[in-house]
A and B are shown apart, each in its own frame.
Chain A
């Protein structure tokens, strides 16, 4: 797909559930679905779910989000998180990447509380040393992927899906 086709798109980050999928379906826009390393939840969970809901999707790797924001191709970010408290939310590894870029480009964040997922039970990869179960370096050091805590003020301005 030529990148020029992406205009006014919705970025979906986190493990989408049916409610989130129905929300983006209602927007009738192309949904950008990043890979979501290391789990690749974007590829293995979000794409199939959105495809079943007949939502137009465009896959990208996580590092392509910068240029998509830079070129103004993202109208709204949907961020699905697993827990919240008075300080903020707990969301999958990489959520800070998405929230900081969204705020830096004046893109509104739409929040949705989804399911709590045991990544270790569901996905093959735990960090960057492997991809789809293929090992690049068994004995290298790697930064452990873990949920990230993002303060409410770091998400402003945001709204929650009703």
Chain B
């Protein structure tokens, strides 16, 4: 597949590339209900900010999906508002979203949206949002090519959770360079985003992949079956420390012990102390997801994210390309 074909390709089968869409005629946001995957591709209709908050809190969408949800919610809430008010509305949406998902950086996305609105003065917010999303998607494809360029000809890649189509882009980018890939997907308990989302979308695209339990990652790396580990990042600071789905830090430590390069998809680094960002604690009962009956249920902890210091990160896959030292 030539590079130009990859950049122009649009016939992807995975709904996770753009899991949230806006229906202009119905003024409704359609959110792919990720909690129903892999068994059903169903969408939830979101018409109000409270609808969006509920969908967000229940983790019907996350990662890039929650970014899209924020952008579309902010844009539709500003419809019909007079000049000067959109910025206040955007900040309100960001604040309320952050209350539901405290670890993710909605205020920074809000700042970017306000900047885009100022830059495209006079354009309707929805047009600005669509252009913003298009620019980000183009950068996803470019960074896929940049990352593919440094991977071996037969890349065995270990990942966890889900990065909304970035691995699908990576696979086709590798193909355009005449390379091959096989993905090992860590199931990512308790929500099983690895199992239900990443394995789902890779299989849908016919991409070679295999599933593993989270605790098998160390053994897999010790057996030299992994060439690279790649993860997402919900937060990153300018030093290169990241916050990502629970289980990420352990993978980084194993990668260092077994000399496996460890990369993270990052964007919008901030000059902050990563330890000051709150780590979301989900309700205890969610730690037992997929258990049907448990009597009595033990006490549980459920930190939803963990911190990986930059010491353990080989490089960052950013919208500007692959960076080794800092994002």
Pair A62/B189 contact, Cβ less than 8 Å: yes
Known: A58-B300, A66-B306. Is A140-B214 also a contact (CB below 8 A)? Answer: no
Known: A67-B303, A132-B290, A134-B290. Is A37-B215 also a contact (CB below 8 A)? Answer: yes
Which of A33, A61, A100: most chain B Cβ within 10 A? A61
- Nearest to B291 among chain A residues (CB) is A132
Pair B257/A104 contact, Cβ less than 8 Å: yes
Residues of chain A from 12 to 66 with CB closer than 8 A to chain B in the complex: 33-38, 43, 47, 51, 57-66
Q: Contacts of A64 on B, CB cut-off 8 Å?
A: 246-247, 301-303
How long is the Cα–Cα vector from A96 to B257 in the complex, in angstroms? Answer: 12
How long is the Cα–Cα vector from A111 to B204 in the complex, in angstroms? Answer: 44
- Nearest to A46 among chain B residues (CB) is B298
How long is the Cα–Cα vector from A58 to B189 in the complex, in angstroms? Answer: 16
Partner of B250 from A3, A101, A127, A132 at Cβ < 8 Å? A101
Pair B213/A145 contact, Cβ less than 8 Å: yes
How long is the Cα–Cα vector from A134 to B253 in the complex, in angstroms? Answer: 31
How long is the Cα–Cα vector from A100 to B257 in the complex, in angstroms? Answer: 8
Residues 176-206 of chain B, each 1 if its beta carbon lies under 8 Å from chain A, else 0: 0000000010111110100110010001000
Residues of chain B from 250 to 300 with CB closer than 8 A to chain A in the complex: 250-251, 253-254, 257, 279, 281, 284, 287-288, 290-292, 294, 296, 298-300
Stretch at the interface among B117-125, B133-141, B216-224: B216-224
- Nearest to A103 among chain B residues (CB) is B257
Pair A142/B210 contact, Cβ less than 8 Å: yes
CB distance from B326 to the nearest CB of A (A): 21
Interface size grouping (class) on chain B: 35 or more
Partner of B246 from A58, A67, A129, A140 at Cβ < 8 Å? A67
Known: A59-B300, A141-B211. Is A66-B291 also a contact (CB below 8 A)? Answer: no
Pair A96/B281 contact, Cβ less than 8 Å: no
Residues 115-154 of chain A, each 1 if its beta carbon lies under 8 Å from chain B, else 0: 0000000000001110110101100111101001000000
Pair A38/B213 contact, Cβ less than 8 Å: yes
Q: Contacts of A100 on B, CB cut-off 8 Å?
A: 218, 253-254, 257
Pair A1/B299 contact, Cβ less than 8 Å: yes
Known: A1-B284, A100-B253. Is A131-B298 also a contact (CB below 8 A)? Answer: no
Q: How many A-B residue pairs have CB under 8 A?
A: 159
Judged by a CB distance under 8 angstroms, whether B307 is at the interface is yes
How long is the Cα–Cα vector from A128 to B248 in the complex, in angstroms? Answer: 18
Partner of B195 from A60, A132, A136 at Cβ < 8 Å? A136
How long is the Cα–Cα vector from A71 to B54 in the complex, in angstroms? Answer: 31
How long is the Cα–Cα vector from A26 to B196 in the complex, in angstroms? Answer: 41
Judged by a CB distance under 8 angstroms, whether B97 is at the interface is no
How long is the Cα–Cα vector from A118 to B76 in the complex, in angstroms? Answer: 58
Known: A62-B214, A64-B303. Is A2-B250 also a contact (CB below 8 A)? Answer: no
How long is the Cα–Cα vector from A68 to B300 in the complex, in angstroms? Answer: 13
Pair A97/B218 contact, Cβ less than 8 Å: yes
Q: Contacts of A6 on B, CB cut-off 8 Å?
A: 301
Q: Contacts of B292 on A, CB cut-off 8 Å?
A: 132
Q: Contacts of B307 on A, CB cut-off 8 Å?
A: 67, 70
Q: Contacts of B302 on A, CB cut-off 8 Å?
A: 60, 64
Judged by a CB distance under 8 angstroms, whether B49 is at the interface is no
Q: Contacts of A114 on B, CB cut-off 8 Å?
A: none
Pair B211/A142 contact, Cβ less than 8 Å: yes
Partner of A70 from B210, B214, B306 at Cβ < 8 Å? B306
Judged by a CB distance under 8 angstroms, whether A93 is at the interface is yes
Q: Contacts of A137 on B, CB cut-off 8 Å?
A: 38, 195, 199, 203, 211
Judged by a CB distance under 8 angstroms, whether A94 is at the interface is yes
Taking A101-B250, A148-B219 as known contacts, 8 extra A-B pairs with beta carbons closer than 8 A to each other, sorted by chain A number, are: A37-B214, A61-B287, A64-B301, A64-B302, A66-B253, A127-B211, A131-B192, A140-B199
